[in-house]
Structure 1
Amino acid sequence: MKVENKATEQTPDTNDKKSSCNKSFPSLATCWGILLLIMVLRFYLSTVLEKQIANLTAETQMLKKKNKELETEKKNLTEIIQQMTTQWKELNVSRAQWSIDAYCPKEKNNRKCEPCQAGWEYAEPSCYATNNPERDEWKTWKEAQENCRGKISDLAVVINEEEKKTVIKKSWKYDENKGYWIGLRVEDGIWKWLDGRNLTNSSLINQPPSDGHCAVSVQDEGFKSLSCDEKNPWICKKKALSV
């Protein structure tokens, strides 16, 4: 009787252990759910990564294409620079040759250099060209300056009293001629020379500065103020060649 009672008493303990064991493991449905979730996440991540890889591949190809275009552009620019450099060197040689021919003309296989080229008058230390075209070819102050620049010079400026005398002496007055444009005009309410100097000697021109006015040189009369838009002959000046 005692043995049977012991066996009977052990039965509830065994059932409790089986119940506890079943509770420690997830159900089959839960396992399938977790597996499905893992598969979905894996598919999503795979899709995202594939898209990113595709985008990076496209960007890489685009950058390669752009780099190729830049290399082509660089090559073209290099060729242009080389051509310009060659042309510039040739131009400098041409100018040098022109200067030699202009200042040192060849006569019977010999060259004799002069301080001024043909058509210019020498007055140390400069060369002057007095331009006396027909009346219908007279120019405004700006046009006259452009003409001088085309001759590698500027409208005449005066540095000292000696140059003033030289310029005035070359400023012949005749017919309707009111004078010769020189490199003096009004800027910001003051008389200023083309070389950037302010006119400090007021005795050179006795007329006050007026906007839109430039100076002409008149023989035996000095400098006078006229509207820059009037048309007159003009005097160019450049540095003489040291020989």
Structure 2
Amino acid sequence: MAEGEEEVNYASVVFKAGNNPPPAAKRGEETVYGEVKVQNETKNEDSAGRRRFQHLACCLGILCVLLLGGIIGVCVYLAPLFNESDSNRFKEVSTLLANNTKLSLENANLTRDIQNLTDQLDNLTEAYNLSESNNKNLSAGVQVLTTRNEELETEKKNLTQQIQNLTTKWNELIISRAQWSIDSYCLAYDDDKCKPCQKGWKHTEPSCYAYNDAEYPDKKTWEEAQKDCRGKNSDLAVARDSVEKEAIKTNSLGSNGFWIGLRVEDGQWKWVDGSDLTESSWIADPDPAEGLCAVFGKDKWVSVSCGEKRQWICQKKALSV
């Protein structure tokens, strides 16, 4: 405050004079005085504001010191509690982190298991679809087989019925044939005695022979002659040994030759009963060529084309009486 008073006294002392100044000078002095007075008043106001600011800053400083002390005291007081809480919190965080890591691993394992199960499910679905397709195909196949089985059952019944009918007809034929045999071998003769051969057949033990000495146009090819013999319950003549050969020769008529049951099959001379010709010397030009059949002449056998027209000899077993 003394410094302020010195500034004010300095400003008041500067401008007083002993002589009377001219009016202009007086006005100048008054102006200067007024300006100094204003500056002095401004300085006074600044000093007062500065003092108030200093008081306020002092109070704020004291308040900050007190607040800082209170905070330090509270921290000192609560530090043990915070340390214990932080320790527990750290343990909890560590436990949670461990659990989180474990759960992450388990989650990864579960994700892998889910993917494996998904793949297995896809495979099972594909296998199931394939099985369903196969099942449908099998069902269709079973249906076809069932239908075919029913058809076969029906066909079996029809065949069984046909067999029964044929058996009946066969029995009837046997009876009829027996009666026919009686008529042919027994009643056909004037003496009413049964003969080993039918009427019109010549007997040379153990066979009966029918010499069909037909003339043109009734002569036949080898196949036609065999068919005619079959119609008479016989075959073209077969000479299994020299006795049968001599019997055929003895009863042969004419010189044009008769078909006998000998022809070339698969490069070999065979009889109609399937046996091979054992005496190749019995036939002239024995070289077997396809399409050749044997003709029995008066003195020899010769091979000719099976398509020629010839007479023929039928042979069947004689009846035992």
Aligned to 2:279: 200
Whether the 8 Å CA contact 1:103–1:116 is kept in 2: the answer is no
Deviation at 1:145, TM superposition (A): 2.1
Aligned mate of 1:129, from 193, 204, 210: 210
Deviation at 1:67, TM superposition (A): 4.8
Aligned to 2:286: 209
Q: Could you report, residue by residue, the CA deviation over 1:152-183 in whole angstroms, capped at 9, with x for unpaired residues?
A: 3211112344433332233222xxx6210112
- Structure-1-length-normalised TM-score: 0.72
Cα distance in 1 between the residues matched to 2:164 and 2:312:
36
Higher helix share: 2
Cα distance in 1 between the residues matched to 2:127 and 2:270:
73
Alignment of 1:62-101 (within 5 A): 62=140, 65-101=143-179
Deviation at 1:57, TM superposition (A): 6.3
Alignment of 1:31-70 (within 5 A): 41=118, 51=129, 55=133, 58-59=136-137, 61-62=139-140, 65-70=143-148
Cα distance in 2 between the residues matched to 1:49 and 1:190:
63
**3-state SS of the aligned residue for 2:217?**
helix
**3-state SS of the aligned residue for 1:136?**
coil
Aligned to 1:116: 197
Alignment of 1:22-37 (within 5 A): 22-23=96-97, 24-25=99-100
Whether the 8 Å CA contact 1:104–1:112 is kept in 2: the answer is no
Deviation at 1:113, TM superposition (A): 4.1
Q: Kindly indicate whether residue 302 of structure 2 is the aligned counterpart of residue 224 of structure 1.
A: yes
CA distance change for structure 1 residues 3 and 56 in 2, over 3 Å: closer, same or farther? Answer: farther
Unaligned runs of 5+ residues in structure 1 are: none
Q: Kindly indicate whether residue 148 of structure 2 is the aligned counterpart of residue 148 of structure 1.
A: no
Q: Which has the higher contact order (CA 8 A, sep 6+)?
A: 1
Structure possessing the higher radius of gyration over alpha carbons? 2
Whether the 8 Å CA contact 1:128–1:236 is kept in 2: the answer is yes
CA distance change for structure 1 residues 182 and 53 in 2, over 3 Å: closer, same or farther? Answer: closer
Deviation at 1:9, TM superposition (A): 2.3
Q: Give the number of equivalent residue pairs.
A: 228
Q: Kindly indicate whether residue 85 of structure 2 is the aligned counterpart of residue 11 of structure 1.
A: yes
Whether the 8 Å CA contact 2:294–2:302 is kept in 1: the answer is yes
**3-state SS of the aligned residue for 1:104?**
helix
- Structure-2-length-normalised TM-score: 0.57
Cα distance in 1 between the residues matched to 2:270 and 2:152:
46
Deviation at 1:148, TM superposition (A): 2.0
Higher strand share: 1
RMSD: 3.9
CA distance change for structure 1 residues 43 and 237 in 2, over 3 Å: closer, same or farther? Answer: closer
Q: One-letter code of the match for 2:80?
A: K
Q: What is the aligned-residue identity percentage?
A: 33
Q: Kindly indicate whether residue 258 of structure 2 is the aligned counterpart of residue 184 of structure 1.
A: no
Unaligned runs of 5+ residues in structure 2 are: 1-72
Alignment of 1:138-177 (within 5 A): 138-173=219-254
